[in-house]
A and B are shown apart, each in its own frame.
Chain A
Amino acid sequence: MEYKRLTLLCGHYGSGKTNVAVNMAYDLKKRFDRVTVADLDIVNPYFRTKDSAEDFKAQGIELICSEYAGTNVDIPAMPQQMYSLTDDRSVRGILDIGGDDRGALALGRLAPAVIEENDYEMLLVINCFRPLTPDASSTVEIMREIELAGKIPFTGIVNNSNLGEETTAEDVLNSLGYAREVSEITRLPIKCTAVREEIYNELEGKIPNLFPLKLQGKIK
């Protein structure tokens, strides 16, 4: 997959942005020396990019996140290092933004610099198995809200339709029509279809731009 210098991941709450962000960072690290992941989630208290901090360290991926993430400090704080993403153009960055328009508010501060440099992808992560985005129209409604709040127009779509660890190849195939419909309404290209690595082989060749995901750990 081709990347711009900055990849911003936004979408409906629970669409799987963090899993996509973590895996894109691993993918980028294969090709670039300096890769930074920024956890700019100001909405979600649990299950964050920071949960992969040890893996990132082992792979030499830099992590920018609020020092309060994963603690009991329950405030929507932004990491002060976030400006390095736009100040230092020698790094490749993945930005994991909080869900919905409320999460995208965090982008407002970065938006002017991101747009000025104009070397970014703003990706909409979509999942038709989420109850509030079961179809294209509800998905596009949330997308418009995010654009209004984040002040950066989307440039592409990541179809991440999934049911967690229970996702079957058939589930993914069934989601393709939905993703195409979102693409047609928004006139945005489908950048990739993300699937958990266990069903990647089954789907390889059947879907263009298939992107394997190693799912972040959870409690059984």
Chain B
Amino acid sequence: MADKVLMKGNEAIAEAAIIAGCKHYFGYPITPQTEIAAYMAKRMPKIGGVFLQAESEIAAINMVYGVAATGHRVMTSSSSPGISLKGEGLSYLAGADLPSLIVNVQRGGPGLGGIQPSQSDYFQATKGGAHGDFHMIVLAPASVQEMADLTVKGFELADKYRMTSMILADGTMGQMMEPVALDYEIAPAPEKPWATVGTKMAREHNIVNSLFLAPEELERVNFERYERYAAIKENETMYEEYMMEDADICVAAFGIAARVAKNAINEARKQGIKVGLIRPITLWPFPEAPFKKAADKVKAVVSVELSMGQMIEDIRLATECKVPVSLCNRAGGMIPSPEQVLEAIKAANNGGAK
């Protein structure tokens, strides 16, 4: 009945996936992402789709591999420890050049950790996530609306580049409720001549595989894959800049940390400190250009993270260490307060950044 609906971030991902044409969901429950599976369990039977609770995360990711090989839009979701279990499958998906959408609603770690929000899987998500040379497109939503928008975007990019898109959210993003509008123009998925959908005795067999008997051949597909990655870096990087025009201090944050940071920035501006925000929306490819530009203008960068400092390494690379980059963080399921971020901004402004 409504233009806007009130949704949890997890539900927004699930509904947006269905709108994007995903009719196959495989998963295994884990807090704080279980609402995705619960929502799919209710909705998929009503639209003629498949919801299947697998016997484990490993089974689920391999079911994703199977459906992806047929060219249909498919997804799984989990939270940090579950994503680690899916690691082998992520690498196989990359090796077979299969499109899929993976959602990680992060919680505190390492190990079993806790169920409260975290961003400490940044390294895992952006640097590959498992063995072998590969990347995933990593999308970092900062609102329930973006949870939905980036899910649609994630499916499109996955199909376009034949690779995995990962939504890297956190427990807060998954659990919080906000109004969302879900009116999307869904473009038809591209032709998938590689899909294993039956030859009808009219063509050669398509083979979906990540094993290569000749090392020369394996090297060639790795080089070709990285040419595609270069095109993605060129064309698909997304970020938001907030009050960066005249900024002396640059805050860098994604997801929930960016929302906290914006509150702190607004307060710092009231106190006369010229501070802005660069919010990466794609974490891979990392938005190097705005940081490189900022490095010539600002006197310091503050990275706000729900981790022991992971994105900060990419910021240092992008700014080529021209300016000091400090860390303002909480870990283990805790969230920095706007006051803590404000103090870090003040310290950076006073030259106290390390």
Residues of chain A at the chain B interface (Cβ within 8 Å): 13-14, 44-47, 72, 74, 127-132, 134-135, 162-164, 166, 171, 174, 178, 218-220
Contact = CB atoms under 8 A, between A and B. Distances in A.
Given A135-B1, A219-B335, A220-B263, A46 B6 contact: no
A55 to B, nearest CB: 19
B340 interface: no
Contact of B6 (A45, A72, A129, A220): A129
A129 B179 contact: yes
Contacts of B333: 72
Given A46-B32, A219-B335, A220-B263, A178 B175 contact: no
B95 interface: no
Contact of B177 (A128, A135, A164, A178): A164
B37 to A, nearest CB: 13
- B4, B108, B259 — most chain A CB neighbours (10 Å): B4
B176 A134 contact: no
B8 A14 contact: yes
Given A45-B31, A129-B179, A164-B179, A219 B6 contact: no
Contact of B11 (A128, A131, A178): A131
A162 B6 contact: yes
B5 A131 contact: yes
Contacts of A45: 31-32, 115, 171, 175
A174 B3 CA distance: 12
A120 B335 CA distance: 40
Interface in B249-297: 256, 259-260, 262-263
Given A45-B175, A163-B6, A219 B256 contact: yes
Where chain B touches its partner, the secondary structure class is mixed
Given A74-B31, A127-B6, A134 B175 contact: no
B203 interface: no
B21 to A, nearest CB: 18
Nearest to B175: A46
B7 interface: yes
Given A134-B1, A164-B6, A219-B256, A46 B177 contact: no
B179 A46 contact: no
Contact of B115 (A72, A128, A134, A164): A72
Given A45-B115, A219-B256, A129 B2 contact: yes
B6 to A, nearest CB: 4
B116 interface: yes
A179 to B, nearest CB: 12
B42 A132 contact: yes
B15 interface: yes
B176 A218 contact: yes
Contacts of B119: none
A219 B179 contact: no
Nearest to B182: A131
Contacts of B5: 129-131, 134, 163
Given A14-B177, A129-B179, A166-B4, 10 more contacts: A13-B35, A45-B32, A72-B113, A72-B115, A74-B115, A127-B6, A130-B6, A130-B7, A131-B15, A219-B259
Closest 5 CB pairs between A and B?
A72-B114, A163-B179, A46-B175, A129-B6, A131-B5
Contacts of B31: 45, 74
A174 B1 CA distance: 10
B106 to A, nearest CB: 13
Interface in B230-244: none
A219 B260 contact: yes
B172 interface: yes
Nearest to B332: A72
Contacts of A13: 35, 38
Interface in B84-114: 108, 113-114
B257 to A, nearest CB: 11
A136 to B, nearest CB: 10
Contact of A178 (B1, B113, B116, B260): B1
B175 A47 contact: yes
A174 B116 CA distance: 36
B178 interface: yes
A54 B179 CA distance: 28
B135 to A, nearest CB: 30
A171 B1 CA distance: 11
Nearest to A166: B179
B336 to A, nearest CB: 11
A135 B5 CA distance: 12
Contacts of A130: 5-7
Nearest to A162: B6
A125 to B, nearest CB: 13
Nearest to A135: B1
Nearest to B38: A13
Contacts of A44: 175
A131 B11 CA distance: 9
